[in-house]
Amino acid sequence: MERRTPESSRGSTDSGSEAATGVAQRTNELAQTFFALLTRHRSYFQGVVGELGISVTQVHIMQFLSDGPMTMRELAIKSCCEPSNLTGVIDKLQAKRFVSRRADRKDRRIKLVSLTRTGVTFRDKLMARFGEPAPWMAQLSAEDQRQLIAILQRAIVLATPVEKGSP
């Protein structure tokens, strides 16, 4: 919260627009800084994933399948992946024995994809690895870590999409 000084509360008509400009500049700086952090953290994430011989897209697919089998169409929509590209991703996961693909019992044209036991085990190990702090996180002071956690938790709540039909 910004503190008002006697100088700032004097009757300048431009003080409101100056304050709005400051807020806009700060918000833009926040967006740019957050994007830079995301970009660097993504590079870290890709490095970890690469060490394990799997792609980021394959990790996402395995996460989507955590709740149970999905059709190829559902996976394509959820992963924002073209169906023709998704087939290749699933082929690679299937070759590693992380997923299985089978025809739907009701409609054999529909293919269901699910995690195998090997896939569940690998996914769990992978998620445990991502639960470990990135090196930059450990370099923050304990107080910075507490503040960042609190800020990120508030941001997550604010960023949570509202379900259609909710009040």
Block mean pLDDT (10 aa), the chain, length 167? 46 64 89 90 84 89 94 93 92 97 90 96 90 90 96 91 58
The CATH number assigned to the domain holding 122 equals 1.10.10.10
The answer to whether residue 19 sits within a structural domain is no
What was the pLDDT predicted at 68? 94
User: What does the block give as tokens for 39?
Assistant: 């970009």
What was the pLDDT predicted at 117? 97
The identity of residue 142, as a single letter, is A
**Which structural domain range is residue 106 located in?**
27-133
Predicted TM-score (pTM) of the model is 0.66
The identity of residue 5, as a single letter, is T
Number of structural domains in the chain: 1
| CA gap 155, 141 in Å, rounded | 21
The answer to whether residue 58 sits within a structural domain is yes
With contact defined as beta carbons under 8 Å apart, do 127 and 79 qualify? no
User: What does the block give as tokens for 62?
Assistant: 């395995």
The answer to whether residue 144 sits within a structural domain is no
Phi, psi angles (nearest 5°) of residue 36: -60, -40
The answer to whether residue 78 sits within a structural domain is yes
What was the pLDDT predicted at 19? 77
What was the pLDDT predicted at 77? 93
The answer to whether residue 75 sits within a structural domain is yes
What was the pLDDT predicted at 130? 83
The answer to whether residue 123 sits within a structural domain is yes
